[in-house]
Amino acid sequence: MLLCIDCGNTNTVFSIWDGEDFISTWRMETNHKRTADEYYVWLSGLMRLQGIEDGINSVIVSSTVPRVVFNLRVLANRYFNCRPLVVGKPECRLPVDPRVDPGTGVGPDRLVNTVAGFDRHGGDIIVVDFGTATTFDVVARDGAYIGGVIAPGVNLSLEALHASAAALPHVDVTMPEKSIGTNTVACIQSGVFWGYIGLVEGVVRQIRLERDRPMKVIATGGLAELFSQGFDLFDSIEYDLTMHGLRLLHDFNKDFPA
């Protein structure tokens, strides 16, 4: 069985696959100080609950936080007796090389989203991932990642307002009833919600103009749902996109010698 690990700046998601069959997924807060032993205590308890005692013999990792990779490597070596495949490292091949400026270190999560989006929808798509940052990944007709957009994430924007403006409280993101807020909380919610709707619409419009062709928009990340209610922003929402991409990349790399 395969263990896929997607480490974002906020959360780390684990999922287990038996061939092409999805078995289970679990999520923990990202913390670069967590040791391999701590990961395993947590993971083995959840695996046991799921009736998985052993059988993991491959691990693939995508991490936007470089510092956690060391302990995830130790986890794979010590407890699953394998060398993990790490997205973004030379030993992890991609079906098509990214076409970006030389020396650019593309976020591995974005490369994985690109692979998954291309597998499900073909090329000429934009993948929007609502994570710590909101990323737009543009996929060319041949499946290559050709660049995109990085914007501050929704919760990050809310936290920044609270952190930098003495009189602004912490507010949770939600769709406000009206655009004109009549109290501070409603004003902040409106700014972030409608601001984000405008951001997504504007960025997608601009990318389509630049590419001069129709492009489907695929959304992923926990907050995708919030921005889809009643709006025509996305052609599809796929919460499992990154995990699907990790499994595909693992299978793709099986065909190459280590």
Ligand X SMILES: Nc1ncnc2c1ncn2[C@@H]1O[C@H](COP(=O)(O)OP(=O)(O)O)[C@@H](O)[C@H]1O
Contacts to K ion by CB under 5 A = 8, 109, 131
Helix (H) or strand (E) holding 11, with range, is: strand 11-18
DSSP conformation class of 56: -
Of 219 and 223, CB closest to ligand X? 223
Q: Do 109 and 131 contact (CB within 8 A), yes or no?
A: yes
Q: Is 37 a catalytic residue?
A: no
Chain positions 143 to 162 lying near ligand PAZ, rule: CB under 6 A, are: 150
Establish whether 6 is an annotated binding residue. yes
Residue nearest to K ion (CB): 131
Residue nearest to ligand X (CB): 222
CB of 130 to K ion, least distance (A): 8
Residues near 29 by Cβ (< 8 Å), separated by ≥ 6?
Answer: 10, 11, 12
Q: Do 56 and 80 contact (CB within 8 A), yes or no?
A: yes
Residues near 86 by Cβ (< 8 Å), separated by ≥ 6?
Answer: 60, 61, 62, 63, 69, 73, 92, 108
Q: Considering only residues 8, 123, 176, 245, which one is a binding residue for ligand PAZ as defined by CB under 6 A? A: 8
Check residue 109 for interaction with ligand PAZ (CB under 6 A). Answer: yes
Establish whether 12 is an annotated binding residue. yes
DSSP SS3 for 255: coil
**Active-site option among 37, 109, 119, 251:** 109
| Amino acid letter, 190 | S
Establish whether 132 is an annotated binding residue. yes
Of 109 and 238, CB closest to ligand PAZ? 109
CB of 245 to ligand PAZ, least distance (A): 13
DSSP conformation class of 228: T
Specify binding-site residues: 6-13, 107-110, 129, 132, 184
Residues noted as catalytic: 109
